[in-house]
Amino acid sequence: MRELNRDGIIIASKCSLPSGPAHTQFGANRKQIISSCEKSLKRLKTDYIDLYHVHVPDPISPFEETFRALDDLVRQGKVRYTGSSMFFGWQLTKAQGISATCRLERMVAGQYIYSLIHRELERETIPAAIDAGIGITCFIPLGGGLLTGKYRGQKKPDKGSRASFRTDVDGPRFWHPRGYKTAEIVEDVSRKSGIPMAKLAIGWPLGRKFVTSVIIGVKTIDQLEQNIEPADWDLPEDVWTELEERTRPEQEYMTWYNKFNYDRFFTASEFHNEEVELL
């Protein structure tokens, strides 16, 4: 870190998941948030973290305590901006409301598993984030490799592999019927368009206005160069639309009805604010 231009990079980190075996080593309470931040600063050998996320919601610690602790870190100069990860829509709204009422630093970012496989956020969480002024950062856009064609024809990851280990820890996040079907759709679109599957999978979320960034993980420089290419490239509109339509989750009645209802208002209004539209 000391050899880099600190002002030229953005560092993001997280707190609240277990950092050790003790009961006092996890959660979004004041002790854990401040302790985790100070330990991260020491490990990173830097004076501040640009973006600090609460990794998962804490059902025990009051939101007032969580966000006052984050506000203290901002006031102390140890953190520049705050964010969340895996919060439900109602939790984002509650958190921003408490921060506004108590005049605390408000969150600017939310980190979520959002991809062609996982689009359930579109029902509640993403509309809440847009309304709260929170940008979405997507992780695992490649579905753990499933959307690259790497596991074509496989119904479970190889034993002993990292994918197998994470499936045991986190459950079958991608290895399920929806994941297999999505991989087949991406492969079909890739074949017709001539665009590599990985480029389609990364380029699709970047086509969303509310997506701030996509997080990628790589093993080689070649993978890095290939996977960052979509950042300076727009997925052709017809290809993006085909992916969107063919992977769109089934709408429950409330979402369908309110889209119909919103259209009624927008049709009657001279002013149309796209930011308040349902997805």
Q: What is the mean pLDDT of residues 12-19?
A: 93
**Residue at 269 is within a domain:** yes
Contact 80, 46 (CB under 8 A): no
Domain that holds residue 238: 6-276
Indicate the number of domains in the chain: 1
Looking up residue 64, the CATH number of its domain turns out to be 3.20.20.100
**Residue at 29 is within a domain:** yes
**Residue at 1 is within a domain:** no
What confidence tier does 212 reach under pLDDT thresholds 50, 70, 90? very high
**Residue at 242 is within a domain:** yes
Q: Phi, psi (5° rounding) for residue 172?
A: -75, 75
What confidence tier does 154 reach under pLDDT thresholds 50, 70, 90? confident
| Coarse DSSP helix, strand, coil percentages of the chain, rounded to the nearest 5 percent | 50, 10, 35
**Residue at 245 is within a domain:** yes
Tell the burial category of 246 from Cβ atoms under 10 Å away from its Cβ (0-12, 13-18, 19+).
middle
pLDDT for residue 271: 64
Residue 205 identity: P
**Residue at 39 is within a domain:** yes
**Residue at 92 is within a domain:** yes
18-51 residue pLDDT tens: 888 888 888 999 999 999 999 999 999 999 999 9
112-125 residue pLDDT tens: 999 999 999 999 99
